[in-house]
Structure 1
Amino acid sequence: MSSRGSPYSQTTTLVNTPDIKETLGSKTSDPVLPPAEIVEYYASKASSAVFLYDVARDAGFGRTTKELAKKGTDSGYAAAFEVQSRAGAGLSLLGRISEGTSSQGSQSSVALTAFTTPDGLAQMVPTLGLFSKPIASNRLVLQVPNITHSGVDMVVSPTLSQLAPFFTSAPEHFTVLLSATPQEIADFAILSYSISAHVVHIFDHWSGAREISKKQLTFAPLVAPVLDTHTAVQKAGYEFFEYVGDKTANDVLVMLNGPLALCVKKVASILPSFGVVLVKVLRPWDEVALRRIIPASAQRVHVIDDSLTSSSFTPLYHDILGTLAYSSSKAPRIISQKLDIPTLNQLLTSAQSLVGYLSSIIPINWFAAPKIPSSGGKRIVFYSNPSSILSEVPATATQLFATKPTLDARFGQIYDLFAKPGGAVKSTLLLGQVNSVDPSPIPFEAGQEPETDSLLVLDPGLLKTHDLFSDLKDGAPVLIVTPWAVEEVISNLSAANLDNLKSSRRPLIAIDAEAVAADLHDAELASSVSIAAFLRLYLGHVASLDVVTGLLKTLYGKEIRGTTVESISKASWDALRLLELPAEIAIPEGVAPSKVFSFNALSLPNTSSTPPGHGTRLTSWIEAGKNIIFREAYSMATPTTAASGQQVPSLRPDTVERTFLVTCKVNRRLTPLEYNRNVFHLEFDTTGTGLKYEIGEALGVHGWNDAEEVLEFCQWYGVDPNDLISIPLPGDPGKRHLRTVFQALQQQIDLFGKPPKSFYEALCPHASKREDRMALRFIGAAEGVSTFKMLSEKETVTFVDVLRKFSSARPSLEVLCEMIGDIKPRHYSIASAQSAVGDRVDLLVVTVDWLTPSGSPRFGQCTRYLAGLKLGQKVTVSIKPSVMKLPPDNLQPIIMAGLGTGAAPFRAFMQHRAHLASHGIPVGPMLYYFGSRHRREEYLYGEEIEAYLQNGIITHAGLAFSRDGKGKVYIQHKMLEDGQLLAKLIGGEVVDQRGVFYLCGPTWPVPDVFEALVGALGQHRGMKRDVAEAYIEELKEAERYVLEVY
């Protein structure tokens, strides 16, 4: 399930939750898990493979399965495959199950599992008849979450109307199970793998599978005998049919097990004169069991079928008709009741509507409208914004109650995508003594009177648009998390909410959680502050500061993000304020009617705690669709540039500089393979890109992180590389660009860069372990400078290294991206002249790698990326101006001194002058000094240099290979030998004596080179030392003494 689709997963950043396997196997505690995750777990454990259809993934399934699949089949978990739903979708399953494997054949019970929805199952109907009779080692289990979007308003519905063809034609070797309560869903998930037939398990995902509640039984072992359906169901403690209601009823309803059946079951358990049969096993159809369970007094059997239209076929009705119509001379009358989707959706939320519907189809005179008692216990409702940091509050608070052995706690959420931009969430928490809370669906409000005992409004904006107060009991308190004063609150209430307040005079309590968190110097504490306020509200008159603090400690421990629970509890306690309502509340005229909260989404696209429009945030593929459909609104601005060729606006929108997409045509190593330094030559094709560059400029390469290392990090950090992340554009905060998490971490975020001191300080509040917080705080402080230096300069740790070292520090991915920042382009001197090579740009690069004192390998991020380029691979580049410019006069002498890859810009100089000479243009002399370790291994572009020497482009060369002779010889030694020539070429005023000296390479030879020039001017021009030094400074000002060193 998606990170925001499951309430349980929302709490993982605050509450330390155990591994799902350990949770389910616990003997001492009840797991607080939605049944949907339990279904996925057992499917992964009991299957040879799990197929995840796209419709099921859209319903929130697949995250747990894929996480377990990463642990590998050796760990006992099935491989996961993502597949598409389409006509004939079952053929891929048929092919897989027909293959079989020798390894499967040796196992006592192996199944192939697929997750799909009723719509997906309907597409499989034509192929299910092709499946052969199952054997123990080769069976199909279809797990079908019952969820469908219906109508133009996309209301989520549990209708099974689309499955009428399947129910009618299901092959005889298929078992069809239907489960509704959270307990049933978990039990039937296990039961699915104990049956010898192919199994279709349809379970309620409208409410039951998404609900968080405690387990009620010891889970069955995964290695179970393969049994016939009757035996397996009975061993699990269930029957094919369940009857509830009057044992002498004249009217009996029969319906498939599901959320509506649970609602009718509640009514039938209270009201006399009728009963209801819940069908839990539809296939194989057990006529004997059905006849046995129907009361002998039954005169009418009303069969409720979900139906698309009034003329739709009703498979359950025909099953009942065939079983009961001629069973005896006193057979009851069989009546078909077709339930369309809008009616079904209405009946699921209101007992009053349901009783009215039953009264219309059952000829029973109840004399007065029957009263249905409430669900029992307390009902607490939260309204929140999924983009707010407070979105975690409802699920986190649930963790506290769900682990209490004396309480029953049930928690569910519904999502309204259209409530406001970004959507809104309604969370409901039902609390009561053990076994006191009935199992009807959470959204079903059983009583005909208001049922909500407490209301928490975490998004005050909903007060103006939605009716939030109508279901509140008299005197029920309302907590609003807002900085507003009472006048602002009243001015932001809808007409319905104002009218309710006017009549009920209920207490309104407010807290500015963000301000309290700011006073505590950690904005992330706003949710904890809100929970503390909620606990005080919930406890009522028995609340005390000590009690609230104790409950917070139960939930969080002694500290939250480095702040003591005592200080958070005290700050929250002191910040609560009662909003004193005026004696008269005027209701303005012409106010738009309040909207009712609608259930139309299983998750919401905006999942960040960052306000929309600011900062990095995780988002959904819906945002990607918007970018495609509404291109004009989302398109990136094209930079204005004088260069020809069209800028690709989406190439690197995160950078303000002009970028180009070039193609790698040559990647050739220049040094021998056995040599310990990899110096290589690159050529990029720039045809059609508009890339233009001048002699001596540098090419900025926007390198990528290593793909395997990024995926390894995603798995370790627990993020899905296929999720989308939305990143604001620099210089244009109104624009954003979308990438997958993998793309962002590979291409933009500097994961494997060197963290500055400030990163340790910023990471500190995110650490949950005290020792990690103290260590991070120390390194980030002035006292930790030596430790920081050791980590940064000796161990050369990366951002990922720091995160692994202090593993309890887990900021959300959005926050982490902003803490780390972007990969900076690495600039390399261009080793070609465009005048000579045309649509091409060349680079000379040496791979940077080393071992740390602890033995860990390290790599230069960009040189590693460049070294691994394949021919034809696209590379994003930009141009950076440089000080390495040719002299204005082609006759001026050029003296070039390069060490190693510092030869790159001088190759461009040589190419350009050779090009001029080939066109008959006179050029001045060129002196070339080059230094490296060995001539054989590192005489870079040696063949070209020798050719230029022969044709006179280079008039003199001083080559220094420091390791080839007895004594070490460097370029400054060669310059000393040529002192007279150097003094002549740079020491005069005429053109052939106004030479320009260039040095490119590492910084270490700069002082010796300077001394060589000073000595040459002193010896051969008669300058005193101070005069020679001043003269070289003048050359520097005149751009005739140019250094590009690093």
Structure 2
Amino acid sequence: MGCAYSAHQDEPIPRTSSVKDRSFVEKMKKTGRNIIVFYGSQTGTAEEFANRLSKDAHRYGMRGMAADPEEYDLADLGSLPEIEKALAVFCMATYGEGDPTDNAQDFYDWLQETDVDLSGVKYAVFALGNKTYEHFNAMGKYVDKRLEQLGAQRIFDLGLGDDDGNLEEDFITWREQFWPAVCEHFGVEATGEESSIRQYELVVHADMDGAKVYTGEMGRLKSYENQKPPFDAKNPFLAVVTTNRKLNQGTERHLMHLELDISDSKIRYESGDHVAVYPANDSALVNQLGEILGADLDVIMSLNNLDEESNKKHPFPCPTSYRTALTYYLDITNPPRTNELYLRWVLEARRHILAILQDCPSLRPPIDHLCELLPRLQARYYSIASSSKVHPNSVHICAVAVEYETQTGRVNKGVATSWLRAKEPAGENGGRALVPMFVRKSQFRLPFKATTPVVMVGPGTGVAPFIGFIQERAWLRQQGKEVGETLLYYGCRRSDEDYLYREELAGFHKDGTLTQLNVAFSREQPQKVYVQHLLKKDKEHLWKLIHEGGAHIYNTFYDIVAEQGAMEHAQAVDYVKKLMTKGRYSLDVWS
């Protein structure tokens, strides 16, 4: 079954929930739970860890539940001690520049504002992050510290998971020490009972009405046929692809520019925001997976949670077909997270699940088991390469098609970029390509005052958000507004290969919107030239803009600040951090 698409609009979706429904303490009392594991998750990993921990509780004579903080009133934490041997665990991922994940934003805001007394509340935190970012595990660290400040008692040390290393190993190591600490604190012992391997049971629907079967929708059944705002991660908008053109001339890589029509969607965005798209897996890979497992992919089934009290009734929208699940809901191309024993064979060789099954002929799990264990296929985020002032009815994307050969000789392709590449614009060959999407707000913003200088630094597709910034500054000039200096430092390989938006940038430079257009080509001449070389060349002017002109900076300037400000490196880092605090230094990143 494929995804059914339509552009019909209707009234907004009402979103209400009773106070009682939002009380997790009441639910724990009703269902006999004493451990709750909250997760702040952007890609599904923190949610998976939370589910594992809640399931572990059974081994110690306790009962756990995993919970999305977005679905509950966290002020209820103060009532948690009413439950005997109660424990709150937090698996918190950090997103972007030290931000909470979307589903943990309200929890974060509440922690900042509340002065509730959490005396008697027992807690533990496992943080998920990446040490290559400056704000490593900022969200997990904040939750751990703030709960203690409010009077809660930490019963085990903060766990720090590093996705730049081996996040799975970090979690396993923490988890193996966490449960003995729980046993010691509450005076309980392992029961010796193993919880069921299965979290979901398979139900096959022989004569299911097609109108009741999910065909790729993320939330509401038939939401793609009857579109209702507001549009978000659980209710994406089906945008028509109106433009899909190759940006570069070279054949080695495929860099593309897409335009998505958001007319009549009521979606609003600002320059610097991110657009999220829900991709689909390659149908050829899905068919190969079905063939190797000997499964009928068109069987309609449901995977129902064995825990009837759980809020999460299914691992993905059900009922649906195996084909739909493997195409729209499950990640079949990323290597499974695993321990050190399989690091080289699985991770370094980039074997996804199909490759593992192909290379292990004796391994043939039932397809429903596989569907339960595979992670969810996540939305992919891209910096919006347009300004809503200029393009209010469309969102522009700049992306590079990912394709590489693995150690095994297989060619792996990026799920989303390969899928986007194949989207033919509306009207071409009778097509009407649709992309499920929503907009995620960002802190990556132009300065409020148009006269403030702006310095932008970006290599490759990193230029995408700056296209929106420059478009907006050009629009402001057209409105008769005075606009400050606008400088772009842009890194490419060769002028005839990957100089993206060349004509557009040249036009902005010619009309004066871009005060400076500085492009570094790393492979065009014998001596490689990178963006940092151009930055150092302009160091005096840049320092003046930063130190005296209050320029907003959109990348790193440590070396220039240190040299021109006569500072040690550590002082330069502190200086840039102060710029960050004032909102004058921005990075466009996400985890």
- Fold agreement, TM-score > 0.5: yes
Tell me the distance in 2 between the aligned counterparts of 1:986 and 1:671: 33
- Aligned positions of 1:230-245 closer than 5 A: none
Q: CA deviation at 1:755?
A: 0.8
Question: What is the match of residue 141 of structure 1?
Answer: none
SS in structure 1 at match of 2:318: strand
Identity percentage over the alignment?
A: 27
Q: 1:954 aligns with which of 494, 498, 514?
A: 514
Q: Which amino acid aligns with 2:478?
A: S
- Aligned positions of 1:598-609 closer than 5 A: none
Question: What is the match of residue 1029 of structure 1?
Answer: 573
Q: CA deviation at 1:867?
A: 1.2
Tell me the distance in 2 between the aligned counterparts of 1:710 and 1:620: 22
2:327 is equivalent to residue 746 of structure 1: yes
- Aligned positions of 1:419-458 closer than 5 A: none
Q: Which amino acid aligns with 1:927?
A: L
> Cα distance 1:701–1:1024, how it changes in 2: closer, same or farther (>3 A)?
same
Tell me the distance in 2 between the aligned counterparts of 1:883 and 1:815: 41
Q: Deviations over 1:204-262 (max 9, x none)?
A: xxxxxxxxxxxxxxxxxxxxxxxxxxxxxxxxxxxxxxxxxxxxxxxxxxxxxxxxxxx
Tell me the distance in 2 between the aligned counterparts of 1:637 and 1:865: 22
- Aligned positions of 1:361-376 closer than 5 A: none
Q: Deviations over 1:7-45 (max 9, x none)?
A: xxxxxxxxxxxxxxxxxxxxxxxxxxxxxxxxxxxxxxx
- Aligned positions of 1:455-474 closer than 5 A: none
SS in structure 2 at match of 1:911: helix
Tell me the distance in 1 between the aligned counterparts of 2:235 and 2:420: 20
Q: CA deviation at 1:827?
A: 0.8
SS in structure 2 at match of 1:835: coil
Question: What is the match of residue 206 of structure 2?
Answer: 620
Tell me the distance in 2 between the aligned counterparts of 1:667 and 1:736: 30
Question: What is the match of residue 996 of structure 1?
Answer: 552
Question: What is the match of residue 938 of structure 1?
Answer: 498
CA contact (8 A) 2:400 2:417 kept: yes
CA contact (8 A) 1:847 1:867 kept: yes
* TM-score, scaled relative to structure 1: 0.35
Q: CA deviation at 1:722?
A: 1.5
Question: What is the match of residue 558 of structure 2?
Answer: 1010
Q: Which amino acid aligns with 1:937?
A: E
2:407 is equivalent to residue 853 of structure 1: yes
Q: Deviations over 1:325-351 (max 9, x none)?
A: xxxxxxxxxxxxxxxxxxxxxxxxxxx
CA contact (8 A) 1:669 1:679 kept: yes
Question: What is the match of residue 238 of structure 2?
Answer: 661
Q: 2:254 aligns with which of 664, 678, 694?
A: 678
CA contact (8 A) 1:972 1:1012 kept: no
- Aligned positions of 1:520-919 closer than 5 A: 521=194, 523=196, 617-622=203-208, 624=210, 646-647=228-229, 657-672=234-249, 674-726=250-302, 733=313, 737-757=318-338, 780=339, 785=340, 787-871=341-425, 872-919=432-479
Q: CA deviation at 1:648?
A: 8.6
CA contact (8 A) 1:617 1:814 kept: no
CA contact (8 A) 2:335 2:347 kept: no
Gaps of 5+ in 2: 1-190, 426-431
Tell me the distance in 1 between the aligned counterparts of 2:585 and 2:382: 21
Tell me the distance in 2 between the aligned counterparts of 1:916 and 1:945: 17
Q: Which amino acid aligns with 1:947?
A: G
Q: CA deviation at 1:736?
A: 5.3
Q: Deviations over 1:544-587 (max 9, x none)?
A: xxxxxxxxxxxxxxxxxxxxxxxxxxxxxxxxxxxxxxxxxxxx
> Cα distance 1:848–1:712, how it changes in 2: closer, same or farther (>3 A)?
same
- Aligned positions of 1:326-337 closer than 5 A: none
SS in structure 2 at match of 1:997: strand
Tell me the distance in 1 between the aligned counterparts of 2:213 and 2:472: 45
Q: CA deviation at 1:521?
A: 4.7
Question: What is the match of residue 545 of structure 2?
Answer: 985
Tell me the distance in 1 between the aligned counterparts of 2:325 and 2:222: 20
Tell me the distance in 2 between the aligned counterparts of 1:621 and 1:918: 62
SS in structure 2 at match of 1:681: strand
> Cα distance 1:848–1:635, how it changes in 2: closer, same or farther (>3 A)?
closer
2:589 is equivalent to residue 1041 of structure 1: no
Tell me the distance in 2 between the aligned counterparts of 1:846 and 1:998: 21
Q: Which amino acid aligns with 1:997?
A: I
CA contact (8 A) 1:831 1:841 kept: yes
SS in structure 2 at match of 1:878: strand
Tell me the distance in 1 between the aligned counterparts of 2:327 and 2:213: 22
CA contact (8 A) 2:509 2:515 kept: yes
Tell me the distance in 1 between the aligned counterparts of 2:460 and 2:328: 29
Question: What is the match of residue 116 of structure 1?
Answer: none
Question: What is the match of residue 269 of structure 1?
Answer: none
Q: 1:975 aligns with which of 535, 541, 544?
A: 535
SS in structure 2 at match of 1:923: coil
Task: State how many pairs are aligned.
Answer: 382
Tell me the distance in 2 between the aligned counterparts of 1:1015 and 1:675: 40
Q: CA deviation at 1:1028?
A: 3.5
SS in structure 1 at match of 2:565: helix
Tell me the distance in 2 between the aligned counterparts of 1:656 and 1:795: 32
Tell me the distance in 2 between the aligned counterparts of 1:728 and 1:895: 53
2:484 is equivalent to residue 924 of structure 1: yes
Q: Which amino acid aligns with 2:392?
A: G
Tell me the distance in 2 between the aligned counterparts of 1:621 and 1:863: 37
CA contact (8 A) 1:982 1:1013 kept: no
Question: What is the match of residue 587 of structure 1?
Answer: none
Question: What is the match of residue 242 of structure 1?
Answer: none
Which protein has the larger Cα radius of gyration, Structure 1 or Structure 2? 1
- Aligned positions of 1:4-23 closer than 5 A: none
Tell me the distance in 2 between the aligned counterparts of 1:754 and 1:850: 14
* Worse-matched range after superposition: 810-819 or 901-910: 810-819
Q: Which amino acid aligns with 2:509?
A: L
- Aligned positions of 1:129-168 closer than 5 A: none
Tell me the distance in 2 between the aligned counterparts of 1:745 and 1:959: 43
Q: CA deviation at 1:738?
A: 2.7
Tell me the distance in 1 between the aligned counterparts of 2:320 and 2:561: 54
Gaps of 5+ in 1: 1-517, 525-608, 629-633, 639-644, 650-654, 758-779, 1000-1005
CA contact (8 A) 1:1014 1:1025 kept: yes
Q: Which amino acid aligns with 2:313?
A: P
Q: Which amino acid aligns with 1:747?
A: Y
Question: What is the match of residue 13 of structure 1?
Answer: none
Q: Deviations over 1:353-396 (max 9, x none)?
A: xxxxxxxxxxxxxxxxxxxxxxxxxxxxxxxxxxxxxxxxxxxx
Q: CA deviation at 1:717?
A: 1.1
> Cα distance 1:807–1:912, how it changes in 2: closer, same or farther (>3 A)?
same
Q: Deviations over 1:1016-1038 (max 9, x none)?
A: 333xxxx5655433221211222
SS in structure 2 at match of 1:833: coil
Q: CA deviation at 1:818?
A: 1.7
SS in structure 2 at match of 1:1042: coil
Tell me the distance in 2 between the aligned counterparts of 1:732 and 1:856: 36
Q: Which amino acid aligns with 2:498?
A: E
Q: Deviations over 1:435-454 (max 9, x none)?
A: xxxxxxxxxxxxxxxxxxxx
CA contact (8 A) 1:664 1:684 kept: yes
Question: What is the match of residue 75 of structure 2?
Answer: none
Question: What is the match of residue 55 of structure 2?
Answer: none
CA RMSD of aligned residues (A): 2.9
Q: Deviations over 1:48-99 (max 9, x none)?
A: xxxxxxxxxxxxxxxxxxxxxxxxxxxxxxxxxxxxxxxxxxxxxxxxxxxx
Q: Which amino acid aligns with 2:241?
A: C
> Cα distance 1:984–1:698, how it changes in 2: closer, same or farther (>3 A)?
same
> Cα distance 1:884–1:621, how it changes in 2: closer, same or farther (>3 A)?
farther
Tell me the distance in 2 between the aligned counterparts of 1:702 and 1:943: 31
Q: Which amino acid aligns with 1:670?
A: L
